[in-house]
């Protein structure tokens, strides 16, 4: 039966298929089961029987880990009693979710019209030289990941980029080394500490 448009289809896996999913999670992840924080487990239990629970839980997972590790996706599938394929369907549909561990510091370079015209592309090229990471990549030292965004809503400050949400406007290539230096070697955040407990 096909669910009507907008309705969430309830998929029930036969025992053999669910066992296959469990086996797949065991063989493709580390030998230790991920330890989910008590607050994450409580959140999952709170949302378990509510409509739209999967997206809410995945947002919370990404908030804790900065991405959705496969081990944690497997555990979420088990706790919510949903197929792993459904979880990956959601993760890959929405660009907000990340499957790969990002750099410790996330750089978003605005390439909206004003920023593009005032040198946004030059900032990206200079960053590639300085940190060894281009768009949608992580620097070799794991410090930075870079992404392009359409607009940060700061057109009067063009060109603009953010690092971990902090806005840097009217930025020039010459200023970039000093801005990046503020973040190199900074102490680990709580999300980084959580992510260290999960294999990549």
For the purposes of burial, counting CB atoms within 10 Å of the CB of 197, is it exposed (0-12), middle (13-18) or buried (19 or more)?
Answer: middle
Nearest to 182 by CA among 143, 136, 152, 134: 143
- Determine the pLDDT at residue 96: 83
Which range has the worst mean pLDDT, 11-15, 48-52, 110-114? 11-15
CATH number, domain 105-181, options 3.40.30.10, 2.40.30.10, 3.30.70.20, 3.40.50.300: 3.40.30.10
Which range has the worst mean pLDDT, 49-58, 127-136, 178-187? 178-187
The predicted-structure confidence for 52-96, as pLDDT tens digits, reads as follows 899 999 999 999 999 999 999 999 999 999 999 999 999 999 888
Greater confidence (22 vs 90) lies with: 90
- Determine the pLDDT at residue 48: 94
pLDDT range class, residue 35, cuts 50, 70, 90: confident
- Determine the pLDDT at residue 4: 43
- B/e letters for 122-157, b = 16+ CB within 10 Å, e = fewer, are ebbebbeebbebeeebbbeeebbbbebeeebebeeb
pTM of the model: 0.67
> CB under 8 Å to 104, separation ≥6 — which residues?
142, 143, 144, 183, 186, 188, 189, 192
Q: How do the domains of the chain map onto residue ranges?
A: 15-93, 105-181
The predicted-structure confidence for 93-108, as pLDDT tens digits, reads as follows 988 899 999 999 999 9
Average per-residue pLDDT for the chain: 84
């Amino acid at each position: 039966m096909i669910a009507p448009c907008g309705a969430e289809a309830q998929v029930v896996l036969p025992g053999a298929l669910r066992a296959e999913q469990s086996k797949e999670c065991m063989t493709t992840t580390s030998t230790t089961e991920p330890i989910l924080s008590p607050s994450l487990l409580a959140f999952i239990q709170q949302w378990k029987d509510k409509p739209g629970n999967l997206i809410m839980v995945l947002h919370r997972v990404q908030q804790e880990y900065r991405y959705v590790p496969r081990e944690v996706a497997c555990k979420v599938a088990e706790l919510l009693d949903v197929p792993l394929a459904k979880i990956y369907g959601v993760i890959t549909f929405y660009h907000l979710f990340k499957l790969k561990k990002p750099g410790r510091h996330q750089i978003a370079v605005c390439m909206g019209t004003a920023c593009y015209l005032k040198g946004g592309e030059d900032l990206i090229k200079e960053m590639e030289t300085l940190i060894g990471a281009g768009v949608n990549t992580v620097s070799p030292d794991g410090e930075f990941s870079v992404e392009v965004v359409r607009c940060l809503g700061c057109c009067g400050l063009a060109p603009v980029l953010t690092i971990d949400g902090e806005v840097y406007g009217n930025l020039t290539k010459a200023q970039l080394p000093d801005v990046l230096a503020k973040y190199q070697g900074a102490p680990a955040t709580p999300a980084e500490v959580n992510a260290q407990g999960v294999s990549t």
